[in-house]
Amino acid sequence: MSAALIEDTKHILDKLVAFPTISHDSNLAMVDYMADFLGQLGARVFLQHNEDGRKANLFATLGPNKDGGVVLSGHSDVVPVEGQDWSSDPFQMFESNGRLYGRGTCDMKGFLACCLATSRGAAELNLARPLHFAFTYDEEVGCFGAQALVRELARRQIKPAAALIGEPTMMQVIEGHKGCYEYTTNFTGLEGHGSQPDLGVNAIQYAARFITHLLGLSESLKGQAMVGSRFDPPWATIQVGRIFGGAGRNIIAGNCSVEWEMRPVQPSDSALVKQSLDTFINQQLLPEMKTVSPSAAIETIVVGEVEGLQVVAQSEARDIVYEITGANGADVVAFGTEAGLFQEAGISAIICGPGSIEQAHKPNEFVEIDQLKSCLKMLSRLQTKLM
Ligand SMILES: [Zn+2]
The 10s digit of each residue's pLDDT in 95-149 is 999 999 999 999 999 999 999 999 999 999 999 999 999 999 999 887 889 999 9
By percentage, how much of the chain surpasses pLDDT 70? 100
Q: Is 358 a catalytic residue?
A: no
Residues contacting residue 266 through CB under 8 Å, at least 6 positions apart: 224, 226, 236, 308, 310
Q: Note residues around ion ligand 1 (Cβ under 5 angstroms).
A: 107-108, 167
The closest of 117, 123, 173, 134 to 330, measured between CA atoms, is 173
The model's pLDDT over 28-81, given as tens digits with 9 standing for 90+, comes to 999 999 999 999 999 999 999 999 999 999 999 999 999 999 999 999 999 999
Distance 75 CA to ligand 1 centre (A): 7
Distance 347 CA to ligand 1 centre (A): 20
Residue 233 sits at φ, ψ, to 5 deg, of -70, 160
Distance 134 CA to ligand 1 centre (A): 14
Q: What is the pTM of this model?
A: 0.86
Mean pLDDT of the chain: 95
Q: Is 269 a catalytic residue?
A: no
Distance 88 CA to ligand 1 centre (A): 21
Q: Which of 14, 107, 138, 139 is catalytic?
A: 139
Distance 288 CA to ligand 1 centre (A): 44
Distance 195 CA to ligand 1 centre (A): 52
Q: Which of 77, 107, 175, 269 is catalytic?
A: 77
d(CA 289, CA 34): 54
